[in-house]
Amino acid sequence: MDFLDAALTVLGEEGRPLHWTVIQDLALRRGYLDPFTQRDIRKHLLAALARAVRDERVLRHGKGVFALAGTPPATW
């Protein structure tokens, strides 16, 4: 799975805004990303999220916090 698909899948499954570190952790734990075959996961995941924000598929809900478009802002 590529980085954008992994991020979108995690955000869709969780249904709430998440910090990128949580997105990365969940994607690794669930096997969507593989640190043994994919290098520089942090860099590529952040780049994929930035592209998704530009394409309006993902919204930024704060510093480092992302959600699928249409997800209400977090209340934490």
Q: Rounded to two decimals, what is the model's pTM?
A: 0.89
* Residue 70: predicted pLDDT: 79
What is the C-alpha separation between 36 and 73, in angstroms, rounded? 34
Instruction: Read off the tokens for 67.
Output: 């959600």
Where in the chain are the domains? 3-68
Average pLDDT of span 39-57: 95
* Residue 33: predicted pLDDT: 96
Cβ atoms of 33 and 27 closer than 8 Å: yes
Strand partners, 27: none
Q: Residue 64 in 3-state DSSP?
A: coil
56-72 residue pLDDT tens: 999 998 899 999 997 76
Residue 76 has pLDDT above 80, yes or no: no
Cβ atoms of 44 and 53 closer than 8 Å: no
27-41 residue pLDDT tens: 999 999 999 999 999
20-29 residue pLDDT tens: 999 999 999 9
